[in-house]
Amino acid sequence: MQSILYFHFGFVTDLEGLKYQSDASLFISSFESNPQRLFYSFYPFIIAIFLKLNIGLKGVLFFQLFVNTIATFRFYQIADKIFVQKRIATVITLLLILSFQIQMWNFHLYTESLFISGIIIYSYYLLNRSLSNTKNILMLSFLFVVLSFLRPTGVLLAIPTAVYLFSHRANEGKMNRKIGIWFLMVALIVYANLQFSTGQFFSFVQKAYANSWVIWGYDGFENINSLSSISGFIELLAYRKLYYFSMVRPYYSDSHNLLEMSFYPIYVLAIIGFIPFWKNNRKVFAFVFSTIVIISVFSILTFINWHGRFIAPILPFFILISGFGIQFLLKKNKISK
């Protein structure tokens, strides 16, 4: 899959990538971060390292692929712990590898590649490692900071993490103190995010609603007026939800839209696996489900982007849930025989 995507895309460094290259140059020349993109600053920092070492942007590409490899292995470990049948962990890991809707971002100089991989690795340390271990708490904290400074939406992980920790119901006082320190760190990052990002962010949101944009910058939905009435607002959100989860776009070619639709069988398997997952492991389900809800609702309420990349970070969780759909169908087939 990676070879096919590289042959098709090469390494896309223009468009969104230009601003990160500009921020990286600023960091190299004056050791400063662009204050307008403070909560994206980890990515320009990575780019700056490879530029300073005279490796160039291809170094960023190989770094993204390296982190993606680690994330793929961590995804398998998460699945291997959840599923009794090891072959299901193998199958859904292969689905992750073959999902171009996820893997394509490895070949873009965008934050999505490291953000998607980072969320998977973060989930591994939260779900698979002991939370009473200081090293694991420190690693979890480090990953949260990295994700928060990769994309502002990284701070949203605080909510599903809190849901998981409360459902975990840790009784040890020592463990609770460590988690309490983690929550304090999270609160400080969230506060800083609100101070530095809200002005620019709300200007984007306001523009999206003022233009009644279902998709950012696209004026093809002329009959929708989100500010005219409550029904108009609901209609706008309904269209956003449709295009967010469908991943198709009116301006894509038919072949491209069909390729996006190749993920739909995973949606179906995830719907089948929803209840079995909840019954099998409610703690992990609480984290996975709340992550999907928080990130998707946030995107739908604000704006969905031109390329559909805002959904990519939660697609691995649909693949994880689909494993329970596969498991359910295998059991049903076995019983019917």
Pick from 1-10, 25-34, 50-59: least confident? 1-10
Residue 171 pLDDT class (50, 70, 90 cuts): very low
In angstroms, the first-to-last Cα distance of the chain is 36
Whole-number Cα distances in Å, 274 to 31, 81, 259: 48, 18, 25
Smallest CA-to-CA distance from 111 within 16, 1, 11 is with 16
170: pLDDT strictly greater than 60: no
Q: Identify whether the C-beta of residue 302 lies closer than 8 Å to the C-beta of residue 254.
A: no
Q: Please say whether the dihedral angle defined by the alpha carbons of residues 24, 68, 307 and 238, taken in this order, is positive or negative.
A: negative
Query: Which bin fits 281, alpha (ψ -120 to 50), beta or left (φ > 0)?
Result: beta
Please say if the pLDDT value at position 174 is more than 80: no
User: Given pLDDT bands bounded at 50, 70 and 90, which one contains residue 127?
Assistant: very high
Query: And the tokens for 138?
Result: 């420190």
Q: Given this model, what pLDDT does residue 89 score?
A: 96
Q: How many helices (H) and strands (E) does the chain have?
A: 15, 0
Residue 18 confidence (pLDDT): 94
Residue reference for tokens 């689905």: 95
Please tell me what DSSP assigns to residue 33. -
- What pLDDT score does 176 carry? 64
Enumerate residues 6+ apart whose C-beta is below 8 A from 173: none
Segment 198-204 mean pLDDT:
69
Q: What stretches of the chain adopt beta strand conformation (E)?
A: none
Residue 172 has pLDDT above 70, yes or no: no
State the pLDDT at residue 178: 65
**pLDDT score for 198:** 61
Neighbour count for residue 317 (Cβ, 10 Å): 20
What pLDDT digit, counting tens, does each position of 225-275 carry? Answer: 766 778 888 888 999 999 999 999 999 999 999 999 999 999 999 999 999
CA separation for the pair 207, 140 (Å, rounded): 36
Q: What is the pLDDT of residue 289?
A: 96
Can you read off the two tokens belonging to residue 116?
Answer: 């998607």
Please name the amino acid found at residue 272.
I
Q: Which distant-in-sequence residues (6+ apart) come within 8 Å of 99 by Cβ?
A: 263, 266, 315, 319
Average of per-residue pLDDT values in the chain: 88
CB-CB contact of 141 with 182 (8 Å):
yes
Residue 192 has pLDDT above 90, yes or no: no
Which residues are CB-contacts of 322 (< 8 A; sequence separation ≥ 6)? Answer: 92, 95, 266, 269, 270, 273
Query: pLDDT-based confidence at 194, cuts 50/70/90?
Result: low
Q: Give the C-alpha separation, 244 to 63, whole Å.
A: 29
Q: In the prediction, which pLDDT does 35 show?
A: 76
Mean pLDDT in residue range 297-322: 91
pTM higher than 0.95: no
Look-up: residue for tokens 């990052």?
Answer: 189
Q: What is the DSSP string of 141-205?
A: HHHHHHHHTT-GGGGGGHHHHHHHHHHHT---HHHHHHHHHHHHHHHHHHHHHHHHHHHHHHHHH
pLDDT at 74: 97
Cα(210)–Cα(257) distance, integer angstroms: 28
